[in-house]
Structures are given as C-alpha cells and as structure tokens.
Chain A
Amino acid sequence: MKDRLRTLLGEPLVHFMLLGAALFLAYGLVGTRSEEAAGSIVVTQGRIESLSTVFARSWSREPTAEELDGLIREYVREEAAMREAITLGLDKDDTVIRRRLRQKLEFVAEELATPGEPTADDLRAYLKAHPGKFAAEPRFTFSQVHLDPQRRGAGLARDVAELRGKLDRAGGGAELSALGDSRLLERRFNAISRREVAQIFGEEFAARLVALAPGVWQGPIESGYGVHLVFVHDRSSPALPDLAEVREEVRRELLDARREESVRKFYEALLRRYTVTVEKAAPGNGEAKIAQGGQ
C-alpha cells in the first residue's frame, strides 16, 4: 500500500517540491523557511504568531498553551494534506477551486483597476448625469377610506357614491375614524414616500396616488384590499438634491459603476491575450467547428 502510494506520488512530488523550494527562495516569504524541503514541514515562529493572532481576533483573547498546540497540530495536518492533494492533482478540474480562483482574480483585478477616491468634480458630474438616481422620493400626506367589495357586494357602487358625497361635504378635515370597512389600514399617512405607499397598499395604488391632484376627495381607487377614496393633503415633488446632501450615495454609486466597468474592461483586455476557439455543433450539421478569434 505504502509502496503503491509512493509510486503514485513519486515523480510529480519531487518535481513539485523542487519548484516549491525554488519559489520559496525567490519570494523569501514570511512564515516559511526557505530551506523547507520535500518531506519536511516547518512551523515557523511567524506562522505560530499568525495562528495565535487569528485565534485572538476570533475569541477576543489569547489562546492557552493547549489551544495553541491544537492549532499547530491542525495546521500541520492541513499543510501535509494540502501538499499531497496537489501532488495527486486533486486541485485540477475541480469546479469549486476553479470558481474560487476566478473570484480571487476578479477581486485582485477590481482592486487594481478601479481608480481611487473620486474627486468632488467626479461626484458632481456623476450626480448631474444621473439625476433620477438621487432625486428625493416624492412624499405624500393623504387620507383614505377603504371599502371591501366582498362585504359590500352589489351595493358597492351605491356605497362608494354615498361615501363620496359625505366626504366631499366634509372636505380634507373629515372625521374618518368611523368610516370604511378596514380596521387595520391607517386612515391618515403623513409624508410617506412612494416606496412606503407601495409597501402598504401595493404598486398599483402607489402608481395611481402619484397622479392625484391634492385638495379634493378622489376615487374610487383600487388596491389589493378593495377600493379607496383618497384625499391628498400635500405632496412633495422630487427635487434634485445638492451634492452635500447625497454625497455618500453618489460616492457609493459611482464607485460601484467604476468597479463594474473595471471588471468588464479587465476581461476585454484579458481575452485579447487569448485566441478563443469554440467548437460548437452547428444545429443539424454534425460536428462543424466554429472558430472565434480573440476579441
């Protein structure tokens, strides 16, 4: 068994170790001694400090001597297993590893390719170019009375007309607490955003509310709950804010846009270095090869 394993590992292991040793020398990395060779695992003082620090960051205290020994034991196992696995080629054709590596490279590329902190001019320009993104949401102060079509049945139209007449006479100051069918829907909403209106009454109702003129009772307007008579007391129109008010959001959006652009450009540049050939079976045409040059 042991011999078989040795045969299996034999050549590539030596190969790998030599390369590894060469690399250690080349990079002179912290934590691993350059003389570390095949068949030896050296846990350096630096590595132990690292294990200890990770522990402290997690547990908010230093490890005890036994705990540190445990960490070192696990580290040694991991190191040995990792080396053998790579020698066996277990890292190849592994979707998890491929995707993880791609993710890491994209992270690197994102960090590298994205210009640093935007200037005030950058922010102003971005705000100007995307007014819709940063305009304050319109807010509504309104009252509503709800009628449940199921409960009202055939009398719904009559009840709506009667209620409407009553409300028209009373105007915006109408006492609403005794009116309508719902006991759970609030009668009056003060300066709530369109988004909140949609969360409470649904998107359809919010879209209708936006179009209502203030100062009169209107409706019936439908929602998922039934029909509503609505009085808009006040509404704020969306205004483009000053940079000072939305600086953080503009910065966030601009940085995100830049990141996305960076990744897109990175792939564009990266793929210029490759000739990509896609061997696709053309529909109904056997094994036709479609070649595609680098982009």
Chain B
Amino acid sequence: MKTRWLFGGSAAAVILSGLVLATVAAQQPAPGPAPTDTGTLDPVAAERVAKKPGYSPYAGRGYPTRPLFGDTHLHTSYSMDAGAFGARLGPRDAYRFARGEEVVSSTGQPVKLSVPLDFLVVADHSDNMGFFPDLLSGKPEILASPTGRRWHDMIQSGKGAEAAIEIIMAFSQNKFPKDLLYAPGSRAYHGAWQETIAAAERYNEPGRFTAFIGYEWTSNTGGNNLHRNVIFRDNADKASLVEPFTVYPPGSDNPRDLWKWMQAYEEKTGGSVLAIAHNGNLSSGLMFPVIESFTGRPVDREYAEQRAKWERLYEVTQTKGTGEAHPALSPNDEFAAFELWDKGNLDGSVAKTKDMLEFEYARAALKNGLKLERDLGTNPYKFGLIGSSDAHTGLAAMEEDNFFGKTVPQEPSPHRLTAKFFDNAKTGVKIMDWEVGSSGYAAVWAAENTRTAIWDAMQRRETYATTGPRMIVRFFGGWDFAASDAQNRLPAQVGYAKGVPMGGDLLQAPQGKAPSFLVAALKDPQGANLDRFQIVKGWLDRDGRLHEKVHDVAWSGGRTPDPKTGKLPDVGNTVNVAEATWTNTIGAPELIAVWKDPDFDAAQPAFYYGRVIEIPTPRWTAYDAKRFGVKPLPGTQMTVTERAYTSPIWYTPGK
C-alpha cells in the first residue's frame, strides 16, 4: 500500500516537473513596443478643471458624480495559504460574488452582498500560484488517435466526467496512449496566472463592473509584512506577456526589485501598473522606512523617487486591523485607537515595540514624507488612501451584518467569536478571531466604471478608504472657498471649479491666503448616520519638527464644542448590543462645510486629509453573539465607529 502510494505520488511529481519545462520554454515573450512614462499630470483632470461653465449646470459634467466601490485585495483558492485554509472559491466565483450574485461559500453557506460592488481586483499571492496540467491540450493530435477520438466523443456527448476519470487512470497506470503522450503540445500547462487573467477578462464588463487583473507580491521575510498589490491598467494582451513578480527565485523580497519589475513591464508592453502597499501595521517598523532595512542606510533619492512613482496608494484599513493612526503617536486624537493590531508582526514572531510604530502608521509616514522631501527633493510617502479586505475566502463581504471572515475557518460559525487567529508561544503574541475587522473597501472617484478610468483615478489618488460602509465623501482644497460654497446645490461642481479634489496638490500660496477646504459626506444609504467630518493636518515647522492636529469641521446638530478645550461633545450611542441593533436618531445623514486653516504658514509644507466618523453601530461580533447565541470572551469589542479616510491634499511651499 505504502509503495503504491509512493509510486503514484512520484509519478505525478515527475510528470508535473517535465510539463512545466515544456510549456515555459514554448512561451517566449514577444518584443514589446517602446517604453512609456505613466506621467505625473493627468490631462483629463487638468482639462476638467479648466473648462468654463455653460448656462446649464448639468450639461457636460465631466467629473464623477458617484464614487465607485470595490476591493483591491482579495484572495481566492489560487493563493496557496487560502487553499490550505480550505478556500474552494476561485477567481470566477470571487468576481461573481462582487458583482452581486449569490454564491455558496467554501463552508457551504449561501452568501450575497446587500448591494453589488463596482470593481474587484483578485490579488492572489504570486508565489506558488502554480501550474495545472492540461492533459489533452494537443487537440488536433487527439482526434488522430483512436483512444483520443473516443475520449473526445465522450466529452462532446456529455460524458466528460467519465472520460476525465479514464484519462487520469490511464496516466496513473502508465497506459496513456504513447502517440498522444508524445504529440506536440500534449503536455501543456495552464498557469494559474493565465487562468486568473482569463477570469478577469470574462467578468470585466465596461460600464457595469470592472474586473482588474492583479496579484499580490508577498515580501514577508522574518514575518514582517511588506506585501504589495499590483494592479494592471491593461487587458490580457499585455498582462499575459509577463509572469507576476515573486519573492522566491527569480524574484526578490526587496520592494526596489518590485519597482524594477514594474518598470520592465511598462517598457516591454507599453502598459501601466501600480502597486498598493499592504497595511504596514504588521511590518515591524519596515513599511515606511527612514533607514532602509535592506541596506541599513538612510533612504536615498532613488528610493524616494521610485516609491513615489510606483506606490501612489496605501491600504490604510483591512481585516488585519486599521493603520491610520496609533494612540501612542497621536495621544490627543480620541479616535486613534481604532481596530488596532499592534501586538506583533504577521506571524507573531516579533513582538511590537513602540519605536516601530512611527514607521508603520499612515499619519506618521505622511509626516515623515514631508521631512524626507525637504532632504531628498521627493516625498516617498505621498500616498492616497484606500481600504480593502485581504480576505482569503474569495468573498469581499465586509459588511458588519454580513461578514464572511478573513479566512475560511472564520466564515460564520458559532466558534469564530471565541477562536484564536494565531498564538505565538515564544513571543506571547496572540490574536483572537474577534480582533479581525470587517473592513474595508476602496472608494474611487472615477467618471466611468472601466479599468482605465478607475486605474487613472487611483493613479491621481482621487480615492478614499472606508472600513466597510459606503458613505460618499467629497474633499476639495483651494485658496478661495467661501462659507457660501457649502450652501451650493452642486458642491462638487464648485469643488472642482475652485479647487483640487482629494489626492491633489496646492502650490504657490497667494499672498496672505490660507488654504480652505470644501468637505461633504453623505451616509451609506443602508447604513448609519454620521457623527462628524474631521480634517487631519500634518506639517513640518521651520525648525524641522513635525506636528499634527485634528480639527472637527462639520458635525451633526445639537452640539457645541467646549469653549475651553475646543472638544466636541460625544455624539452618543444607540447600540443595543444584545439585540445587535441601533437607530439613526443621533448623527446626521449629510455633513457639509467649508473650513479654512487657522494656523497656516506659507513656508511650512503640510498635508490635510478628511476623516468621516459614523455614529456607533453593532460590530460583527454583536451580530454573531445574537445570531449564534454565543457568549463573547471578556474584552471583546462589540461596537464599532465606522469611518472613511480620504487621500490627503498636500501643500508645498514654492522653492
């Protein structure tokens, strides 16, 4: 018995290795067109801003009227770890689910989104994506062989399953017809990468649902998470000319090498790719280096330029915690302690120390970026913000009342409220399943739902992150916004006409003027009211010191900031945890305001981003406790104040 197993196993291994070789050798890349530059100025945006308005306020509006929601970071069974955890859903299922269809999860549970998403990137790990044998790919030759002909006919007449078993048996028992075995092309392989591309091509429906081609580069040396999601602007014709960049040979764990890969792809194909860095909260202080871990030397001009060029977005929230701000870095920010994972790195092998935080959290990185720009001439950390799931289930299901977990064992069950996510006995770093967040999504202000339009909006950072709800958030910065602009019936039109949207730049401050911001937020139509709209400012002073301040700029009625502390009273809480309910009797469905920076100094570089806070609602743990009748562990977080984070707008003084 043992011998037989060994025999079968090694036979398969031998066949596999031989076949990989044959296919790979056959797929010599074709030479690509001339190199292109992704460019820094978006001509569409520029034109849009410059356009003179006509009489009709509705005619010719080139700007996006509705944000598109999606997930840039979803794994399926094609990811080695997801498959190992029991994920059965592949890219096809993932796209189906995201566009609103009901599917059956890997644990056999029917699941559907409350409202469809607009786009999805299936981002499986590029390492070990694998090859799957195609035993009968040499189609014409098959028909020439009597056995092959019989199999072919069986398949065509609906007896494919029986034929498949016969073919597999023939292989494993060494009875595969010799003339077929040696026929040209008969040992071809389908790379999982090619299958991934094929699924994206099939489900991409311009105007309705965008299925991006992408993958995750999984640099994880020492358990320190430096992953990046790579997203193609292009279709299969270009993306299939390359293999995704890996960490294992011939790849590398250094992001500089990923950027080289991206450059080479663009030069070879004339296509475009961007990379989104994974939430840095599990990187042991390596995500936003000032001293590069790979060299031990300060980041240099080249690092800054390359990172700024290729990584224009950052994943600020996902299932493994939120990485906007940390209370230890921002002690005056009462909303900083949100869904934190600050005990260790990705596998818990290194415990967190306070000195790491500055190089892991988005706000600190945005601040350090200002300083690095002063020293190097380029800001490596000039990134916009998005949220995504990083779910390993094929399901971008990030609604609190419809949360299907990060991994398959975390799909809804009576156990997930009390189970462990991981526990590293050596370091004492332990994460429970209840700490996994039902977060988040990426919101993109694209004028149409296509690969190119969404990708271009990502590239110009006109995006925001949400922790799950689909609130609509506007954030414009300029020099001339007036209070009356907040009364305008078409705030977006005023916003684009008088300023730049989120992700943009303010340059050359007019004499005596301070930047002003038009901000607006509309609640998720199915979700909770809004508590407040805040602007977070970070700046570099004349002495080279970094500062930050959080301003409340719009809030729901009935509250006045404390005249002494300036603090806005709490919005309240209507959550009934036991019943997992809340009411929209507090907060506001819509917030809108114009805010002018009261402390502006034209000599000091700064950034401003919006943070929108919802009223408290039941967390997924409350829904689980109620629906499964399970008692949560002591200390389990049962409510959540969902939020959105916009990409910043930067102010850079003239040279």
Contact = CB atoms under 8 A, between A and B. Distances in A.
Interface of A: 12, 15-16, 19-20, 23-24, 26-27, 29-32, 46-47, 49-51, 53-61, 63, 67, 70-71, 74-75, 86, 91, 95-96, 99-101, 103-105, 107-109, 111-116, 148, 150, 177-178, 181-188, 193, 195-196, 198-203, 205, 223-226, 248-249, 252, 256, 262, 265-266, 268-270, 273
B525 A55 contact: no
A198 B6 contact: no
B190 A203 contact: no
Interface string B528-571: 00000000000000000000000000000100000000000000
B291 to A, nearest CB: 27
B250 A55 contact: yes
Contacts of A266: 160-161, 164-165
B174 A58 contact: no
Contact of B83 (A30, A99, A186): A99
B508 interface: no
A116 B251 CA distance: 36
A241 to B, nearest CB: 14
Contacts of A248: 202
B156 A29 contact: no
Interface in B12-66: 12-15, 17-18, 20-22, 24-25, 27-29, 32, 57-58, 65-66
B158 interface: yes
A111 B163 CA distance: 11
Which 10 A-B residue pairs are closest in the complex by CB-CB distance? A113-B160, A29-B18, A265-B161, A202-B525, A107-B132, A60-B264, A112-B164, A224-B525, A96-B84, A55-B250
Interface of B: 3, 6-7, 9-15, 17-18, 20-22, 24-25, 27-29, 32, 57-58, 65-66, 69, 77, 80, 83-84, 86, 92, 100, 114-116, 118, 130, 132-136, 139, 155-156, 158, 160-165, 167-168, 174, 181, 190, 202-203, 205, 208, 242-246, 248-251, 260-261, 264-265, 267-268, 470, 472, 474, 486-491, 520-527, 557, 584-585, 588-590, 592
Nearest to B249: A74
A63 B250 contact: yes
Given A116-B155, A150-B585, 20 more contacts: A19-B3, A23-B7, A31-B21, A53-B25, A53-B28, A54-B24, A59-B260, A96-B84, A116-B139, A177-B490, A183-B520, A184-B522, A195-B116, A199-B66, A202-B525, A203-B526, A225-B525, A252-B202, A262-B164, A266-B164
Contacts of B65: 186
Contacts of B17: 29, 31-32
Contacts of A268: 161
B524 A224 contact: yes
A27 B250 contact: no
A60 B525 contact: no
Q: Chain B binding site: helix, strand, loop or mixed by DSSP?
A: mixed
6 contacts: A114-B155, A116-B155, A148-B590, A150-B584, A184-B592, A252-B203
Contacts, number: 245
Contact of A273 (B18, B83, B132, B165): B165
B21 A47 contact: yes
Nearest to A44: B21
A74, A101, A112, A114, most chain B CB atoms within 10 A: A112
B655 to A, nearest CB: 37
B25 A200 contact: no
Contact of B25 (A50, A95, A113, A205): A50
Contact of A57 (B7, B114, B243): B243
A188 B57 CA distance: 12
